[in-house]
Amino acid sequence: MLRTLFVVIALLLAGCQSAYYSAWEKLGVEKRDILSDRVESAKSAQEDAQKQFADALEQLSALISFDGGELQDTYEALKDQYQSSKDSADRVGDKIDSIENVAEALFDEWEEELTQYSNESLRRKSEQQLKTTQRRYSKLIRAMRKAEASMEPVLTTLNDNVLFLKHNLNASAIGALQGELEQIQKEIQMLISEMNLSISQSEEFISLLNSN
């Protein structure tokens, strides 16, 4: 029974997506246009995530170098930065999922339409364009997923620090975390590097879509 329900839900969702794309096509917006927009949106989400994680690092640095004032306020600010970072990571993941959804629909449609050509020369040209686009798309998604994965260790370290400080909010506890700063700096630097690569791949892919 439960399995049947899952199948029904999956079919309904697939139908909703199909209707969604059909509605846009009636307005002159093709799947290629939607894909380009979603890649652009994901690129912006990654840029925002870069800034957010840098802010979280800055807040952690401020807490570890704490030298007076309201310790509770500084801790609360770090906790907020952790939650904001987690939200940013979730948004990036959602954006990538949406890209994969429309890309799958686009490539399925493209492959099906190859069978409709009567002109063999045009068919071969279109097929070559499809293969090039798929190849570049695969490279893009790998970069995006790798950048997404690079956020996990940072979130884990931030969460560990927040949890530790929650029950040990004193100068001694802060001193115990000083060794964590160097590690999270390395993790965030790696994150930013992976994000930059993914953002660069996004720009190249958008350019490819617009040139076809």
Domain that holds residue 131: 2-211
Compute the distance between CA of residue 183 and CA of residue 173 in angstroms, rounded to an integer: 17
Compute the distance between CA of residue 18 and CA of residue 26 in angstroms, rounded to an integer: 12
Compute the distance between CA of residue 145 and CA of residue 198 in angstroms, rounded to an integer: 9
Compute the distance between CA of residue 212 and CA of residue 209 in angstroms, rounded to an integer: 6
pLDDT digits (tens, 9 = 90+) for 142-162: 999 999 999 999 999 899 888
DSSP 133-172: HHHHHHHHHHHHHHHHHHHHHHHHHHHHHHHHHHT--SHH
Instruction: Say which DSSP state 118 is in.
Output: S
Higher-confidence position of 13 and 124: 124
User: What is the pLDDT of the chain when averaged over all its residues?
Assistant: 86
From 41-55, 72-86, 135-149, the region with the lowest mean pLDDT: 72-86
In 3D, which of 92, 90, 105 has the Cα closest to residue 34? 105
Name the percent of the chain lying above pLDDT 70. 88
Cα–chain center distance at 130: 24
Q: What is the pTM of this model?
A: 0.83
Instruction: Say which DSSP state 212 is in.
Output: -
- Domain total for the chain? 1
